[in-house]
Structure 1
Amino acid sequence: MATKKDDRSQDGRKKKEQRKRNRPDAPLRDVLRVPEGERLDLTAYDASATPAGPAGKAAGLAATAALAPRLANLQERLYASSTAGDRRRLLLVLQGMDTSGKGGTVKHVIGLFNPSGCRIRAFKAPTPEERDHPFLWRITKALPQPGEIGIFDRSHYEDVLIARVRALAPRSELGRRYDQINRFEKSLADDGVTVVKVFLHLSYEEQRNRLLERLDNPEKHWKFNAGDIEERSVWPAYREAYEIALERCTTDEAPWYVVPADRKWYRNWAISTLLLEHLEALDPTYPPGDFDVEECRRRLLAT
């Protein structure tokens, strides 16, 4: 049973987190991070907002482009350090409703990196082979190697999202899965994986607009799925499923970030900035050579 002392301690933590988010110079990861131990209400988040972002679309596009050299340099340093035994790598997990921009993020944000150092995996409905294994089996096989940047377009969270909405698993099993996910992500962190989990927060109205755009443009019909219309009928159920997943699975080792996704330019800037902040925190370095530089120079000049 919670005591008054416990309540005061929790209130103190909440106020401390709020102060961190409200600082003018706060890192974006503090601004967008889902607070631990708090009830999450996604209806309180404005999907068209641009928290801590540039002043408008033109400025946002320019700011995102300006991040490219820094991201590329950090990626190269991360890979270089892995050649000397550094096991660190980064995993970006993208979740969101249909049309929220998971594919767009891969195109516009991951496009800022060297593709040879990225490992991209889109998770669809499990194959018969995957269904014969525990739900984390296919995830483990797709993890980035040391020095790489991994990107998951959907992820293991589908097994507590659509599985909850469509009753594909008993509630008791879903409860166990949240705990399994937390243990799994902690094991990743312990092995050198920086996990950056992003929920692309799209509004109901903006999803309608994007689906209409696909319907009205023959060149985008390949993107349209009539099943997306049916999925809109259970929008509140998906929102609740996301709220529970984000509440249960935001941790120190693998926090969730809510990125407003109605404005594509902001989405791209925000995710690029989150990746930059995490890579800068890793601060990978080029390893020293294991050879005599002057001796090799002398030999080379003699050829």
Structure 2
Amino acid sequence: MMSLDTYKVIDTISLKDISTKVVVRDAKKDLKKSRKKLSKLQDAMYAEGKYSALICLQGMDTSGKDSLIREVFKDVNARGVVVHSFKVPTELELKHDFLWRHYIALPAKGKIGVFNRTHYENVLVTRVHPAYVFGENIPTVHSLDDLNDEFYHNRMDRINDFEHHLAKNGTIILKFFLNLSKEEQKDRLLRRLEIPNKNWKFSADDLKERKLWDKYQFCYEDLLNRTSKENAPWFVIPADDKDSARCILAKILVKELKKYNFKEPTLSDKLVAQLDDFKAQLNKE
């Protein structure tokens, strides 16, 4: 497996030059080890109460986001992980600015929040389908001509500001793009059609969106290059092999969270001096 640092977006990248498949030997075994470490890190983060962690997941349809969340966070205390899957904005959400629904879903200190699809949908899906923006009733948007590159780059600047503010206030932000090949997506869609108990996962819209593959890749590449910052980095994870993708992402999570050296609070000298007395009281019951 490549060094974990090679997955981080530091310089300008081109997605066509990045492999979508890396096979990690003993990926499932390594994932189990990482899960235990992640659980301990979250316990310490919760006890310390200074930081929260926001894990952002983006990827094309069938890239494996749902199953990755299930497998990577399986051993973390259920109360320590909150997952939000953002769908089409509701009527109420459209009456607020485009970041509002994401802000109110942020994790509290001590917890890990996972955004399954994220605030980046606002510079991704809306860029591929700009007419969606009309639903936001923005005063300065009158026609499709207003929804140009400048509009979306301005939104990316606002997202950078948003994440900078969060990071300054104790939110650890780690963003992952599950980099799937078009060929592998085809195979996964076919499996949804061929295996009866997976039929429910298939939608005709998947095929419509697949036809826009190149536009999505362009938009992803642009946002990755413009919004990967030191306080909120993007990592491009090869997603064609699901076990390996989960293993790599979990290892990166552990490596990045360890940097914060979470410390469980220590008891005061007064309480330490009373411990034997407390034990004696309990043993007398």
Q: How does the TM-score come out when normalised to structure 1?
A: 0.84
Summarize the alignment of residues 9-88 of structure 1 with structure 2, pairs less than 5 Å apart.
Answer: 26=3, 28=4, 30-36=5-11, 38=12, 40-50=13-23, 54-55=24-25, 59-82=26-49, 86=50, 88=51
State yes or no: 1:294 paired with 2:253. no
Q: 2:185 aligns with which of 198, 207, 220?
A: 207
| Amino acid in the other structure paired with 2:221 | E
Q: Structure 2 CA distance, aligned partners of 1:214 and 1:127?
A: 28
Q: Structure 1 CA distance, aligned partners of 2:209 and 2:283?
A: 67
State yes or no: 1:127 paired with 2:90. yes
| Amino acid in the other structure paired with 2:92 | E
Report how far residue 187 of structure 1 moved. Answer: 0.7
| Amino acid in the other structure paired with 2:9 | V
Question: Which blocks of at least 5 consecutive residues in structure 1 are unaligned?
Answer: 1-21
Structure 1 match to 2:59: 96
Report how far residue 297 of structure 1 moved. Answer: 2.6
| Amino acid in the other structure paired with 1:181 | I
Report how far residue 302 of structure 1 moved. Answer: 3.8
Q: Structure 1 CA distance, aligned partners of 2:243 and 2:91?
A: 38
State yes or no: 1:181 paired with 2:163. no
Q: Structure 2 CA distance, aligned partners of 1:81 and 1:278?
A: 17
- Structure 1 residue ranges (4+ consecutive) displaced by more than 3 angstroms after TM superposition: none
Question: Which blocks of at least 5 consecutive residues in structure 2 are unaligned?
Answer: 134-146
Q: Structure 1 CA distance, aligned partners of 2:35 and 2:123?
A: 34
Q: Structure 2 CA distance, aligned partners of 1:93 and 1:46?
A: 21
Q: Structure 2 CA distance, aligned partners of 1:270 and 1:115?
A: 22
3-state DSSP of counterpart to 2:54:
strand
Q: Deviations over 1:95-114 (max 9, x none)?
A: 00000011011111121312
Q: 1:218 aligns with which of 192, 196, 214?
A: 196
| Amino acid in the other structure paired with 1:295 | D
Q: Structure 2 CA distance, aligned partners of 1:199 and 1:68?
A: 20
Q: Structure 2 CA distance, aligned partners of 1:103 and 1:261?
A: 13
Q: Structure 2 CA distance, aligned partners of 1:80 and 1:35?
A: 32
Question: What value does the CA root-mean-square deviation take over the aligned residues?
Answer: 1.6
Q: 1:237 aligns with which of 215, 233, 237?
A: 215
State whether residues 35 and 73 of structure 2, in contact with CA within 8 Å, keep that contact through their aligned partners in structure 1: no
State yes or no: 1:116 paired with 2:82. no
Amino-acid identity (%):
36
Structure 2 match to 1:266: 244
Q: Structure 2 CA distance, aligned partners of 1:99 and 1:112?
A: 24
Q: How does the TM-score come out when normalised to structure 2?
A: 0.89
Q: Deviations over 1:84-141 (max 9, x none)?
A: xx2x011110000000011011111121312221010000110011011001000001
